[in-house]
Amino acid sequence: MAEKVKNSAVFFNPLSKDNPVIVQVLGICSALAVTAKLEPAIVMGISVIAVLAFASVIISLIRKTIPVNVRIIVQLVVVAALVVIVNQLLEAYAYDVSRQLSVFVGLIITNCILMGRLEAFAMQNRPWPSFLDGVGNGLGYATILVIVAFFRELLGSGTLLGVQVIPQALYDAGYQNNGLMILPPMALVVVACIIWVHRARNKELQEK
C-alpha cells in the first residue's frame, strides 16, 4: 500500500504541486517558442512525454552499470537517440507540424526537465517508478503548454486548432484579434498568470 501511495505521488505531484514549469520554472524556452498555436504545443507536449518516459526507463535499467564520471554523457546519448526517433516519426506522419516545430524538437535533448529528472530520479529508482515520474513530469509540462497555447491562439488568432471559433459577427461588430498574443513575450505573461493563480491556490508554495 505504501508503495502504491508513493507511486501515485510520483505521478500526480508534477501535475500540480511540483509542476516542472510553474513551480520549478523549467522548460520555459519551449513555452515561448511553440505555443502561438495549439497544435504544435500538443505535439511538442506528447513528444516530451514519450522521450522523458522511455528515457527514464532506459536510464533506470542501466543505472548500476553507468560509470559516475560519464553518466551525463550517457543520459544525453539516450535522450538524443529517442529524440531522433520522435523527429523521424513526426516528419513521416505529421510533416506540417514538424515544420512548425522546426529545431525545437531537437532541442528536447537539452530540455532541463529531462536532464533533471533523469539525474535526480531515474538514476536512483527502479524502472516502474521512473516511468511514472517521466510520464507525470511530461504531462505537467504538456498541460502548461496546452493552456498557454489555448489562450494565445484564441485571443491572438481567433482560432483553436486552426478552426475559427470566434463568430464572424463579432468581427463585423468591430472585434479584432490581439496581435500581441502571438508574440513570444506574451507566453511569459500567460505563464506568469498561471503561476499567480497556482500559488494563490497552493499557499504552501508561497515564499515566506
Task: Kindly state the cell numbers that stand for 170.
Answer: 463579432
Cα–Cα distance for residue pair 96/102, rounded to 1 Å: 10
Determine how many CB atoms are found less than 10 A away from the CB of residue 93.
Answer: 9
Nearby residues of 51 by Cβ (< 8 Å), 6 or more positions away:
79, 82, 83, 86, 108, 114, 138
Q: Looking at the predicted structure, is the pLDDT value of residue 95 above 90?
A: no
Cα–Cα distance for residue pair 115/112, rounded to 1 Å: 5
Is the overall model pTM greater than 0.85, yes or no? yes
- The model's confidence at residue 208, banded by pLDDT at 50, 70 and 90, is very low
Among residues 49, 30, 28, the alpha carbon closest in space to that of 41 is found at: 30
The whole-chain average pLDDT of the chain stands at 87
Among positive and negative, which fits the CA dihedral 15, 16, 17, 20? Answer: positive
- Give me the pLDDT at residue 35, please: 87
Q: Looking at the predicted structure, is the pLDDT value of residue 107 above 90?
A: no
Q: What is the pLDDT of residues 38-64, one digit of tens each?
A: 988 998 899 999 999 999 999 999 999
Place of cell 514538424: 98
DSSP letter, residue 36: S
Residue 191's identity, in one-letter code, is: V
- The model's confidence at residue 90, banded by pLDDT at 50, 70 and 90, is confident
Beta bridge partners of 159: 164
Q: Looking at the predicted structure, is the pLDDT value of residue 167 above 70?
A: yes
Q: What is the pLDDT of residues 17-35, one digit of tens each?
A: 888 888 888 777 777 778 8
- The model's confidence at residue 2, banded by pLDDT at 50, 70 and 90, is low
Determine how many CB atoms are found less than 10 A away from the CB of residue 108.
Answer: 25
